[in-house]
Each structure stands twice: as C-alpha cells, then as structure tokens.
Amino acid sequence: MGALTTALFVVYMLVAPLTGWLGDHFRRKPLIIGGALLWSVATFGTAWVHDYWTLYIRHAIVGVGEATFVIFAPAVLADFYPERERNRILTIFYLAIPVGAALGYLAGGELGTLWGWRAPFFVCAIPGVIIAALYGWIGREPERGASDHVRATSDRSTVLGLFKNPAFLTATFGLATLTFAMGGISAWAPTFLNRSAGLSVSKAGVVMGAITVADGLAGTLVGGWLAQRWLRTNHRALYLLSFWSVALTLPCGVVVFFGPPTWIIPALFVTEFFLFLNTGPLNTAIVNSVSAPVRATAISLNLFFIHFFGDTFSPQIIGAISDRSNLRIGLGATLIFLVISAAILFMGARFAPPLEETA
C-alpha cells in the first residue's frame, strides 16, 4: 500500500524538471489543460484494474498530470500580482489542498464502503475534466514577469543560479523535510486512528477528512493572514511564520503519537492546524525567491527536491518501521524531520529577498 503512494511521487518527481522547462519556454494554458485531463483519465481508468501492477502503473501515471498543474498554476498566478500580494493570492489558491484532501478521504471512505473500492475512482476523475473545460473557456494567461518588482540577479534568473540562491534553497529544503513528515502522517493517519484510537476503518477516514478540511481551511487562512500582516513590517515574515508553524507542531505531534488514546483526536486536530499555517507563506517564499524567466523551473526543482527528500519514500519507510516495531514509533520518526525543517526555515529568514526593489 505504501508503494502505491511512492510510485505516484516517483513519476511526479521525475517528470517535474521537464515540465518546469516547458513552462518557462511555452504557453502555460494548454499545458495546464493537458495535465488536468491526463490525471483525470488515469484516475478514471484505475477503476478497471484487476491486478496490483496495473493499479501501480495507472497510479504512477496520475503523477504526470499532477506535475503539470502544480508547477504551472503558481507561476501563472505570480504574473498577475506583485511580490507583496502573492502570499494573499497563493494562500487562497492553496486552500484547494486541504479541501481536496478532505473530499478525497470522505468520498473514498463513504463510496468505498457502500459500493466497493472502484467507485471512488469514477467520482474523483470528474472534477479534473470540469476544471480543464472551465479553464479552457475562461482562463487568461498573463505576460511572463509582468508583475515582478525585485531585481533579476543571476541567482534569481538563471537555472544554475538557483543552486547558489540561499532564499530558494532554504525554503525548498525546509519544505522538503516538512513534506517528509506530512506525507507520512497523511498516508498513515487513518490506519493509526483505527489501531490506536479504536475507530473503524470507514470512521477513521471520515474523522481524518473532517479534521483535514477544518484545519486546512482554518490553518491556511490564518497563516496567510498573519504572514500578510507581518510582511508590512518585516520582509522575512514568510520564513519566520513558516518556522513557528513547524515549531509549534512538534509538542502536539508528541502527544498524538505517544500520548494516551483519549488525547489522539484532539491533539491531531491542533497538530494539523499548525502544520497548515505555513501553506501559503512557504510556497510564496519559493515563488518570490526567483524571477519570471526561471520561475516554472524553480517550482519544478522545488517539487523534485521536496518529494525526493520528502513524501516519495516516507509512507513506505514509516510502513517498514511499523512492521518491525509499531505504528506509533513509525509515525514518531516524523518528529525528527520537523526539527530539521524548523532549523532550516529559521536560518532561511536571513536570506529573504526585499520586496520593494525596482525590477
């Protein structure tokens, strides 16, 4: 089961650099539409598989479509708004993550219980097709770099320069270590609730979905709002708020994984809230750390690194640890990566780019 998630992210990760290059050299609107259709068709086709390896391959193909949309959409939005406003806009955009994750848990748990595991794949393919059609009809692609106000130095505007850009690197690897923890938690939390909190499999999915949608909406909105206000007085706010988001998650995670069973659900609620605080600010920090000529490439490299060092292997690693000990210890390993993430993000604040330069 853990290997299915790994397959998706391996393909997603390997395709990302190529799609980033395409996004910096070709029109992004048709690329976004094609990606949405590809992942929808692959998801829909999963409903007809009859053996594990066919399921594995189709699940991996979903990563190709996802890599296009997740890379191009933030780059397009960044061209509509200047650096100081991007946190506000991307916070709204990234609300899709908790909403989509929660709907997936709820739909998968309920439809799977009622009609078997194939039913959710039929339903979950429909939104991607609708979005592709709507974007093709009313979507507009802005001029590349139209809203940039920070000077395009070599470390911000060239591919090789990205590897010497400390603002980009610290945001990327801070997010990578955080993603290791988040990927493992999201993959195994329903199983953990079933084993340690005594919930049924279907109820664990419903509870996890409810917590995710509530915390995702509240945490993402509150984090984006706090960072936007903090930016008025401190251009390092995006990094500092992300640091506090991870730091405050740590004690709550200890209670979830090693505390008494009666505390698991309320502590998980608080843990996810703090995890979601950094969603808009940290992704905005990555977008603002580079200039328009390499923005899609930078986002694609960021995705490669956060998945290679993050959630591509974390579900399988946590599963392996759990098989040799128990799931509490497996999930407890994520706390080590949260400590590393907090340290990197705190260090990265010193490299945050100013937001008032003239391009």
Cα Rg of the chain, angstroms: 20
CA pair distance 241, 249, nearest whole angstrom: 12
Residue 351 or 117, more confident? 351
For residue 356, being part of any structural domain is answered with: no
Contacts of 133 (CB under 8 A, 6+ apart): none
To 5 degrees, how large is the angle CA 290–CA 293–CA 298? 45
CA pair distance 76, 140, nearest whole angstrom: 9
**Per-residue confidence at 100, pLDDT binned at 50, 70, 90?**
confident
Q: Is the pLDDT of residue 319 over 50?
A: yes
Contacts of 140 (CB under 8 A, 6+ apart): none
Whether 319 and 188 have beta carbons less than 8 Å apart is answered as yes
For residue 189, being part of any structural domain is answered with: yes
**Per-residue confidence at 69, pLDDT binned at 50, 70, 90?**
confident
Q: Give the global pTM.
A: 0.84
pLDDT tens, 296-312? 999 999 988 988 888 77
Q: What is the CATH number of the domain that holds 215?
A: 1.20.1250.20
Out of 24-33, 181-190, 338-347, least confident range: 181-190
CA pair distance 275, 256, nearest whole angstrom: 14
Q: State the CB neighbour count (10 A cutoff) for residue 161.
A: 18
Give me the number of domains the chain comprises.
Answer: 1
pLDDT at 111: 81
For residue 224, being part of any structural domain is answered with: yes
For residue 45, being part of any structural domain is answered with: yes
For residue 358, being part of any structural domain is answered with: no
Q: What is the dihedral of CA 294, 299, 305, 306, to 10 degrees?
A: 160
Q: At what angle do helices 52-78 and 83-93 cross, to 10 degrees?
A: 150
Full residue range of the structural domain in which residue 238 is found? 2-351
For residue 18, being part of any structural domain is answered with: yes
> Residue 95 phi/psi, 5° resolution?
-60, -20
CA pair distance 318, 310, nearest whole angstrom: 12
For residue 210, being part of any structural domain is answered with: yes
pLDDT at 2: 65
> Structure tokens of 250?
């740590």
pLDDT tens, 157-195? 999 999 999 999 999 999 999 998 888 888 888 888 888
CA pair distance 139, 311, nearest whole angstrom: 31
pLDDT at 255: 92
CA pair distance 215, 222, nearest whole angstrom: 10
For residue 357, being part of any structural domain is answered with: no
